[in-house]
A and B are shown apart, each in its own frame.
Chain A
């Protein structure tokens, strides 16, 4: 799934699409747009998507990246799917807390815990 220009690593595990970011910084508009499009294609390809996004490699993200995550969440909800976030660095998790998006998203400490949580 990972192509030369892809910004994501994608793997399938127990019917769950697991996504990791290649970039350590998810900040600039063009990069975020590209990530949103790639994840959008993954969602479109499944009738009822079950998606795990791991932030294991991510050091920085911006409010624009949060916006893309919200769009992804809405898209998955519209298909009655499930989204989980995991492996978020404490500094980045603080961004989710400040914006109260930790209440909107289902966030797990590790990818393992997130995978176990899927219905």
Chain B
């Protein structure tokens, strides 16, 4: 999956209840895998942040915090890359419709920064239509603009 469809079966997969206290296992399992593969501190920081943001979006915006809904998390790891897919049970959204949180009129709004952080810290972020599934990849040799600075 990291290089297209070379690994169709994920290395890890979880179906989590849409509750804020139910999401930790995904993050923990992905991070312990990265630790095992010796991903450095900045890589783990980036992946943790992006995963946290994507899970929060799936919980709050996708699943409307409905505990009867689930969040499906899958991940693929290689020695130099990790791809994470997070899917909610919502209707999806158009990511291009999310306003720029750094614009002067939005800078004091308390929300709307999660996607920007995901794109800044990961190498690739893709929203799969209808927008209820995000696939993001971190590559050690070409991290996101924030992770490489």
Task: Kindly list chain A residues whose C-beta atoms are within 8 Å of the C-beta of B116.
Answer: 98-99
Is B29 an interface position by the 8 A CB rule? no
Q: What is the interface of chain B, defined by CB distance below 8 A to chain A?
A: 20-21, 23-24, 42, 45, 48-49, 52-53, 56, 59-60, 101-102, 107-111, 113-114, 116-117, 120, 146, 149
Q: Mark A63-98, 1 if CB is under 8 A from B, else 0.
A: 110111011011000000000000000010011001
Inter-chain contact total with CB atoms closer than 8 Å: 63
- Other than the given A60-B45, A63-B53, A67-B113, 20 more pairs (CB < 8 A) read A27-B52, A28-B24, A29-B60, A60-B49, A62-B49, A62-B52, A63-B114, A63-B117, A64-B56, A68-B110, A73-B108, A94-B146, A95-B49, A98-B117, A98-B120, A99-B101, A99-B102, A99-B117, A100-B107, A104-B108
The B contact surface, by secondary structure, is: helix
Interface size class of A (residues with CB under 8 A): 20 to 34
